[in-house]
């Protein structure tokens, strides 16, 4: 007996059969349309990058635990990209002289991380990346926040289904040091603790705080600070607030698009000020869907030119979970609109010419590959989701006509060959 290879994909990756691919194509098509109507230009880049760009800027969790690395035959250390932002920073830096800043770019890469597969996390995922490069203006934040709302609306989401939670790492630094009394020595560790704040039970957080070196009193003050919401801003020094783009957003008409949350940190090391996450409000899926933030110096790995940026990555796994949770997942499209069926094998050329005219009219059309009885082909057309069939018979073809049949009503009529596209379109309407 031969030893057959397994048919399952590598753990943490997924096969997308045609029905699921149809759903994904519809979903991402809506997102592309929104991005391009806002002037974002699509780009792409290699799936292999120098491992160093992630080890220097993506943070320890990705660099030490999640990076797929390899050494090529030339001895170069490479990695399968775990995210797109370092790659686009490299591309922006490399083409900066030819660009007119600010620029709006987007992409839809597949990314790889060695994670424990679970709900919302796999080892290969696709994500929409959208970034604005070359401006420090708070208008960039406003545009990104508006874009998030437009993208969600394009998928059928209403404002009550999600919340855009925002913070500024500089505001958080001030809150921790000036309000909560955290020392500079403990700051990076407390940042990591805050990033876990909503994921762990209170007892576990207190235990972690003690390990860092915080007293019980300091932990309670930290909890009070993080729970203060927007009232916390009044406790921060005025010079800190005045330098924050996020405060400018909150004080503008765009403030209604977001909710200020002091515990939003984002784990990636390159974020420098504004950070945000989109949360599902459903009790069945109450979790972050995607997020992003501002990075002031990511391009500095590649160029001395200061090129600030802000953007986000919208992953496909949590997005599809969101759509399923709220009943927004579109149905797969039918395989074809119409099938052209030759009654005899010698009419295949005639059927192909009729099919060509239907396709020219914009109808998704197929013809049989092998000759089978008419009844079997009608069953095949029904299973394919066709609305109609066009039957090419010997006598009809000799008379310059074909039979157009509705698969819903089983009614049929004889029409001139040239009129077949209009007759099928009428059934589709």
Q: Which two tokens stand for residue 341?
A: 């069926």
Which residues lie closer than 8 Å to 248 by C-beta, 6 or more apart? 138, 141
The whole-number pLDDT of residue 62 equals 74
Distance CA 117, CA 123 (A): 7
The whole-number pLDDT of residue 56 equals 81
Q: Which two tokens stand for residue 36?
A: 């391009």
Average pLDDT of the segment spanning 214-222: 91
Model pLDDT for residues 277-286, shown as the tens digit of each residue: 999 999 999 9
φ, ψ for residue 342, nearest 5 deg:
-80, 135
The whole-number pLDDT of residue 301 equals 87
Query: What's the pLDDT band for 385 if we cut at 50, 70, 90?
Result: very high
Model pLDDT for residues 79-138, shown as the tens digit of each residue: 999 999 889 999 999 999 999 999 999 999 999 999 887 877 799 999 999 999 999 999
278 or 66, higher pLDDT: 278
CATH class of the domain at 338-428: alpha beta
Distance CA 382, CA 376 (A): 10
CATH 3.40.50.800 in the chain, residues?
Answer: 338-428
Q: Is 200 annotated as a binding residue?
A: no
Distance CA 315, CA 109 (A): 10
Query: What's the pLDDT band for 59 if we cut at 50, 70, 90?
Result: low
Q: End-to-end CA distance of the chain, in Å? A: 55
286 in Cβ contact with 108 (< 8 Å):
no
Q: Which helix (H) or strand (E) covers residue 312, if one does? A: strand 309-315
Tell me which residue of 375, 162, 383 sits closest to 366, measured CA to CA.
383
CATH 3.30.930.10 in the chain, residues?
Answer: 18-325
pLDDT at 61 over 70: no
Q: Is 21 annotated as a binding residue?
A: no
Q: Is 127 annotated as a binding residue?
A: yes
pLDDT at 268 over 80: no
Q: Average pLDDT over the chain, rounded to whole?
A: 94
Beta strand pairing call for 124-133 and 309-315:
antiparallel
Q: Which superfamily does CATH assign the domain made up of 18-325 to?
A: Bira Bifunctional Protein; Domain 2 (3.30.930.10)
The whole-number pLDDT of residue 188 equals 87
Reported pTM:
0.91
Q: Which two tokens stand for residue 217?
A: 């009193």
The whole-number pLDDT of residue 58 equals 64
Cα torsion 142, 146, 151, 157: sign = positive
The whole-number pLDDT of residue 119 equals 79
Model pLDDT for residues 313-370, shown as the tens digit of each residue: 999 999 999 999 999 999 999 999 999 999 999 999 999 999 999 999 999 999 999 9
Average pLDDT of the segment spanning 173-182: 92
Q: Which two tokens stand for residue 115?
A: 């994670």
Average pLDDT of the segment spanning 14-29: 96
pLDDT at 60 over 80: no
Q: Which two tokens stand for residue 25?
A: 């194509």
Omega prior to 102 cis, within 30 of 0? yes
pLDDT at 1 over 80: no
Give percent of the chain above pLDDT 70.
99
Average pLDDT of the segment spanning 214-233: 92
Secondary structure class of 176 (helix, strand, coil)? helix
Q: Is 83 annotated as a binding residue?
A: yes
Q: Is 131 annotated as a binding residue?
A: yes
Q: Is 56 annotated as a binding residue?
A: no
Which residues lie closer than 8 Å to 211 by C-beta, 6 or more apart? none
Residue ranges of alpha helices (H) inside 95-137 are: none
Q: Is 36 annotated as a binding residue?
A: no
Q: Is 85 annotated as a binding residue?
A: yes
Tell me which residue of 244, 270, 253, 249 sits closest to 131, measured CA to CA.
270
């Amino acid at each position: 007996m031969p030893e057959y290879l397994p048919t399952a994909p590598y753990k943490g990756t997924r096969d997308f059969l045609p029905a699921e691919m149809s759903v994904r194509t519809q979903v991402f098509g809506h997102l592309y349309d929104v991005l391009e109507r806002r002037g974002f230009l699509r780009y792409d880049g290699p799936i292999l990058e120098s491992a160093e760009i992630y080890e220097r800027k993506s943070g320890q969790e990705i660099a030490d635990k999640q990076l797929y690395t390899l050494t090529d035959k030339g001895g170069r250390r490479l990695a399968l990209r775990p995210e797109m932002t370092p790659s686009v920073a490299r591309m922006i830096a490399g083409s900066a002289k030819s660009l007119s800043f600010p620029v709006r770019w987007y992409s839809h890469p597949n990314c790889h991380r060695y994670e424990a597969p679970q709900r919302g996390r796999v080892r290969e995922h696709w994500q929409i990346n959208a970034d604005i490069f070359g401006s420090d203006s708070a208008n960039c934040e406003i545009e990104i926040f508006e874009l998030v709302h437009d993208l969600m609306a394009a998928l059928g989401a209403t404002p009550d289904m999600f919340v855009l939670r925002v913070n500024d790492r500089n505001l958080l630094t001030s809150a921790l040091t000036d309000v909560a009394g955290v020392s500079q020595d403990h700051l990076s560790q407390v940042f990591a603790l805050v990033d876990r704040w909503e994921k762990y039970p209170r007892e576990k957080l207190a235990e972690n705080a003690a390990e860092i070196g915080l007293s019980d009193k300091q932990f309670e003050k930290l909890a009070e600070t993080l729970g203060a919401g927007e009232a916390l801003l009044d406790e921060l020094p005025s010079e800190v607030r005045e330098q924050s783009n996020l405060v400018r957003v909150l004080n503008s008409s765009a403030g209604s698009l977001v909710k200020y949350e002091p515990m939003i940190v984002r784990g990636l090391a390159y974020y420098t000020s504004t950070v945000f996450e989109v949360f599902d409000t459903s009790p069945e899926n109450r979790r972050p869907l995607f997020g992003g933030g501002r990075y002031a110096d990511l391009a500095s790995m590649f160029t001395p030119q200061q090129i600030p940026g802000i953007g986000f990555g919208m992953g496909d796994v949590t997005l599809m979970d969101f759509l399923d949770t709220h009943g927004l997942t579109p149905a797969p499209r039918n395989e074809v609109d119409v099938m052209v069926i030759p009654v005899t094998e010698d009419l295949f050329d005639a059927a192909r010419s009729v099919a060509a005219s239907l396709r020219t009219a914009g109808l998704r059309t197929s013809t049989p590959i092998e000759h089978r009885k008419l009844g079997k082909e009608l069953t095949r057309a029904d299973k394919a989701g066709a609305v109609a069939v066009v039957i090419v018979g010997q006598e009809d073809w000799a008379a310059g006509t074909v039979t157009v049949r509705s698969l819903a009503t089983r009614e049929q009529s004889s029409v001139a060959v040239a009129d077949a596209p209009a007759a099928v379109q009428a059934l589709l309407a």
